[in-house]
Structure 1
């Protein structure tokens, strides 16, 4: 099976490294013109774009804070201008746990920061992309949830888990809302994926060993385990799939 995304324009949020970078490179390798988004890691975003270009693809880089509504609108407008075409593919990958903290010690400020970076960003980047997709009569939106949405996450990650649960449920609602316009909305829920800033920041070596011990396939995932599924959801091979969540966790959680 060869996925062909030639002449498709894709925006991948948070693609300066980790899973987002792997997704952007995968989509570029399938022929998509990729808009690489970043918040603060411009060097990482440029590296992602250069990897796509070195492989013969096209890429543009755009910075934006996805907790700021004006910057979200600017991001999508610049993404649509980058290649002179509206978006065909949107990957809402940007997200963050921000900090591990128990509910007992949670503050409103931290709660809002976690929810904004994970939920508000997904809602309002999608909102900004909808008009262009509606005008084209087609589109594929892929949201990023987490295994934490199912099992509540590890210690101190309750609000993060709740935010990813919201993304999972939002995916189903959006799928129903946008189906009449030819726009499909699906979700990916990664389990324990190494080679990411997330686990480098929030997971101890002991925690990593414990996580891997609970995975039936006996290893952690890598970003490329996620990127192929995203490309599938972006392609015509999944043209009759919408509202679904694909679990990628080595068997750690089975539905």
Structure 2
């Protein structure tokens, strides 16, 4: 077996065409979420930022979090400069107290919650599953699975009738292969969580769905495009012959939480350009 190794982000090439300032150029004329209150975790970069911008552009009021307050502040400035109402705080989603404070901030500010987008995830180590150290296993399970359940439980009492929950999974949920198989397995769990909560919350009018992005070259996924060879390999796995963007993932989320998807629940939408994915 190959030994597990810690992920060295400094050696990865940050390759996100739609991150930061470039992301701010994206606009939409849809206003399907006017007045809706949305909680989004890990919303200051990559896919999370794309979701925040898209839902805000559709009229939603946002509560966002990320691990570093400086990143939250910078994102709030960006959102507000576009006329999007937003509040936010630093939060480690692996800590229940931080999640409680995040939810309370939203409730104190807006008095209710309409939509939860659980986006936060970690992948602190790579390697064969049986070689991953205990600390990394614990962190992956705590953040990628347990935190999603805890956050949904904290939000549920405040969800309005016809509320929505969306979990952000990954195409690796369908094909959890080395060297990120454990991460992929944690994302597989979200597919089951989506089905379970859709059944439990459906009688209350709450819809629960999941989005599984394909390869999107954000900082988080930089290892997947760290060389031209890796990029071309990932592009070749799609029918469209290209990688995705945060904007395209955000558009799928916007659809699922809108009335356009009012009869959709318990489903996982794979947004992967035609990547083969089947459990």
Q: CA deviation at 1:3?
A: 4.0
Q: Structure 2 residue aligned with 1:204, among 201, 226, 230?
A: 226
Partner of 1:24: 52
Partner of 1:78: 105
Q: Structure 2 residue aligned with 1:151, among 171, 175, 178?
A: 175
- Equivalent pairs counted in the alignment come to 249
Partner of 1:89: 115
What is the aligned-residue RMSD (CA, Å)?
1.6
The answer on whether the counterparts of 2:174 and 2:277 sit within 8 Å (CA) in structure 1 is no
**1:35-74 to 2 correspondence within 5 Å?**
35-40=63-68, 42-74=69-101
Q: CA deviation at 1:159?
A: 1.1
State the distance in 1 between where 2:224 and 2:236 align.
Answer: 18
Partner of 2:132: 106
TM-score after normalising by structure 2: 0.85
The answer on whether the counterparts of 2:224 and 2:234 sit within 8 Å (CA) in structure 1 is no
Determine if the alignment matches structure 1 residue 185 to structure 2 residue 208.
Answer: yes
Range that drifts further, 25-34 or 96-105: 96-105
Range that drifts further, 234-243 or 196-205: 196-205
TM-score after normalising by structure 1: 0.93
Q: CA deviation at 1:203?
A: 4.9
**Secondary structure of the structure 1 residue equivalent to 2:125:** coil
Partner of 2:18: none
State the distance in 2 between where 1:2 and 1:210 align.
Answer: 35
Deviations 1:149-188 (A, max 9, x none): 10114x2212101100001110000000001111110000
Q: CA deviation at 1:18?
A: 0.3
Structure 1 residues not aligned, in runs of 5+: none
Q: Structure 1 residue aligned with 2:151, among 111, 115, 125?
A: 125
Determine if the alignment matches structure 1 residue 230 to structure 2 residue 256.
Answer: no
The answer on whether the counterparts of 1:3 and 1:231 sit within 8 Å (CA) in structure 2 is no
Q: CA deviation at 1:66?
A: 0.7
Structure 2 residues not aligned, in runs of 5+: 1-28
Partner of 1:139: 163
The answer on whether the counterparts of 2:41 and 2:64 sit within 8 Å (CA) in structure 1 is yes
Range that drifts further, 74-83 or 10-19: 74-83
